[in-house]
A = this chain, B = another copy of it.
Amino acid sequence: MTIELEIVQDWRVFATDHSLAGVALSGDDTVVSWSDGRETAFHRFFLRDNCPCSQCYLPLTREQLFEVTDAPADLAVHSAAISAAGDLIIGWTDGHASRYAPGWLRAHAPDAQSRAERHAARAQPFIWGREYADALQSFDYGDIMADDGALWTWLSALKSSGLTLIRNVPVEEEALLGPIARISHLRETNFGRVFDVKSKPRADSAAYTSVNLPAHTDLPTRELQPGVQFLHCLQNEATGGESVFVDGFAIGEAMRKHHPGEFATITTTPMAFWNRDDRTDYRWSAPAIALNDEGDLDEVRFANFLRGPIDAPAEKMGDIYAALRLFQAMTRDPKYFIERRLAPGDMWAFDNRRVMHARREFDPQTGSRHLQGAYVDRDEINSRWRVLSRQLGEPC
């Protein structure tokens, strides 16, 4: 029997180190054995769901047309074989046929060992503290604007450390939109597409006054805090106003290690954050440090000046305040922060959902201070980084 099956190629690449050595049927599963001795059981619906033929996938959009609900409940594998080219060929009891490349199967294998390998291969964040002040690399605006390799290097650093400095950005209003356009669109908020950080006579946020702003993330009042913040210095003549950055993941990992009780509390207690304005009323509650499903640090959410009353059972208040006070004290500990004075043309890009920023009080009588800011979500950074990685031949 000759089977001609057109495979609709996905954009994802996969390693082709392992070939199929054998195949056997067992109940609901098709069990393949690999050239390195590993075995993987693929459930009949998993295989049917992922049939890559051009009837099941629309070649134009590479989007799936087949829906697994369309398969009868008793659909079974009628025949399973390895083709001369080394692909797995499945014949189904309803007459459909499917072909799977061994690299694709290995890349998505649901056996415990393959899943553990995928998990272990994920990028880990680079955690930093005060010592990073000396090591902090800066990137050049011209390089980022002109060269995809430089763009990829910068975005890689931003994803890993959460804090990067770009120099030689033109000292012009909205110049920060240049690097943003190299990524994607920006994330608009009620403060505008671009926001101007300077002292305003009728401030609706502490950011627009000259007071000390303690370490915080921006817009913790939103369900999704903006992912990456760009902060471009146009003028900085006033006395004071230094920028301070704290890696919230460093504090989170230190709490996990040295204060496990407080870490458990801070990662599970929702904290309310509110805005207080006559035109808007944003509210959100979430833990100050959030973990993902695997227990990795995922997000820091904290601005003391926006915090609402804690809504928790009375008997837990003591533990909650102990954890909150520890967390906040750590954000002020010099071992965790770096402090810099911005010069016109400097631009910070930092992960607003990880790196807290603070501003020292400044004296508006001593000179002008004007920063412009904008946000881009993590999704956009990740998407652009993956496409660049694809184009540059880097794994992603």
CB within 8 Å of B: which residues of A? 10-11, 28-29, 40-43, 45-46, 49-50, 58, 60-65, 67-69, 71, 73, 108, 110-112, 115, 118, 184-190, 202-206, 209, 211, 214, 222-224, 270, 275-284, 293, 304-307, 309-314, 317-318, 321, 324-325, 328-329, 332, 377-380, 382-384, 386-387, 390, 396
Contacts and interface: CB of A to CB of B under 8 A. Distances in A.
A45 B304 CA distance: 14
Contacts of A11: 276-278, 281
B379 A43 contact: no
Given A46-B310, A314-B41, A276 B63 contact: yes
B276 A110 contact: no
A317 B31 CA distance: 14
A63 B206 CA distance: 7
Contacts of A311: 108, 110, 115, 118
Copies in the complex: 2
A230 to B, nearest CB: 16
A305 B64 contact: yes
B10 A276 contact: yes
- Most B CB within 10 A of own CB, among A204, A276, A304, A329: A276
B317 A45 contact: yes
A151 to B, nearest CB: 14
Among all A-B residue pairs, the 4 with the closest Cβ atoms: A43-B317, A45-B321, A62-B276, A281-B386
Nearest to A309: B108
A132 to B, nearest CB: 23
A190 to B, nearest CB: 6
Given A108-B309, A223-B378, A318-B28, A280 B383 contact: yes
Contacts of A61: 203-206, 209, 276, 305
A313 B185 contact: no
B211 A58 contact: yes
Contacts of A318: 28, 43, 45
Contacts of A108: 309, 311
A317 to B, nearest CB: 4
A58 B58 CA distance: 58
